[in-house]
C-alpha cells in the first residue's frame, strides 16, 4: 500500500510537470496564432522552431498620466520583439535548475511520463463575457490506477488552470 502510494505520487508529480510544460507552450502558441493547438506534433514543432512576442517597457509612467498619454509624450516606450519559444520557456536558467521535476526533453514533449502515450489535446472557442475566446484541454491519456485524471485547461470556459493544487 505504501509502495503504491509512493509510486502514484512520483507518477503524478512527473505528469503535472509535463502538463505545465504543455500549458506554457499552449499559452505562447495562442499569443502567436490567436488560438490554441489540438495537435501534439504541431505544438512540439512550435516549441522547436517558433517565436513568441515579448513587450519590453522602457521608462516609468507618472501617476498623473495614463499609459497612452505617457507613450504619446515619449516618457515611456513599449517595444515588441520576438524570442525563441524553446530558449525562452524551456532552456533558460530558471528552467534548467532544480525547479523542474525532470530535465526538459523536446522529444518527450507532449508525452505522458506515466504511460508514455501522447496527451489528449482538444481546442475550441467559447463565449465569455460577450467575447469569443479560445480554449484548450490537455489530459493524461492513462492515469495512474486509483488516481483522478490530471488535466489542464477547460473546453467550457477560458482557463489555464490544472486539476492539481498549485
pLDDT digits (tens, 9 = 90+) for 40-71: 999 999 999 999 888 888 888 889 988 888 88
Residue 6: other Cβ atoms inside 10 A: 10
Kindly state the cell numbers that stand for 99: 525547479
**Residue range 154-166: mean pLDDT, rounded:** 93
User: How many angstroms separate the first and last alpha carbons of the chain?
Assistant: 26
The pLDDT value recorded for residue 146 is 86
> Rounded CA gap, 51 and 128, in Å?
28
| 111 DSSP β-pair partners | 118
> Rounded CA gap, 17 and 29, in Å?
18
Per cent of the chain over pLDDT 70 is: 96
> What ranges do the domains of the chain cover?
2-154
Residue 99 pLDDT grade (very low, low, confident, very high; cuts 50, 70, 90): confident
Residue 94 pLDDT grade (very low, low, confident, very high; cuts 50, 70, 90): low
pTM of the model: 0.86
Q: Is the separation of the CB atoms in 61 and 70 below 8 Å?
A: yes
Amino acid at each position: 500500500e505504501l509502495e503504491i502510494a509512493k509510486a502514484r505520487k512520483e507518477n503524478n508529480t512527473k505528469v503535472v510537470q509535463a502538463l505545465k510544460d504543455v500549458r506554457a507552450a499552449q499559452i505562447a502558441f495562442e499569443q502567436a496564432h490567436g488560438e490554441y493547438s489540438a495537435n501534439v506534433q504541431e505544438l512540439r514543432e512550435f516549441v522547436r522552431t517558433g517565436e513568441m512576442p515579448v513587450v519590453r517597457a522602457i521608462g516609468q509612467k507618472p501617476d498623473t498620466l495614463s499609459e497612452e498619454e505617457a507613450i504619446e509624450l515619449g516618457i515611456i516606450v513599449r517595444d515588441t520583439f520576438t524570442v525563441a519559444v524553446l530558449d525562452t520557456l524551456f532552456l533558460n536558467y530558471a528552467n534548467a535548475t532544480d525547479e523542474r521535476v525532470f530535465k526538459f526533453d523536446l522529444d518527450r514533449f507532449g508525452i505522458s511520463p506515466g504511460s508514455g502515450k501522447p496527451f489528449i489535446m482538444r481546442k475550441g472557442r467559447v463565449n465569455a463575457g460577450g467575447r469569443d475566446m479560445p480554449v484548450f484541454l490537455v489530459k493524461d491519456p492513462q492515469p495512474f490506477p486509483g488516481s483522478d485524471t490530471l488535466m489542464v485547461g477547460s473546453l467550457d470556459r477560458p482557463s489555464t488552470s490544472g486539476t492539481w493544487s498549485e
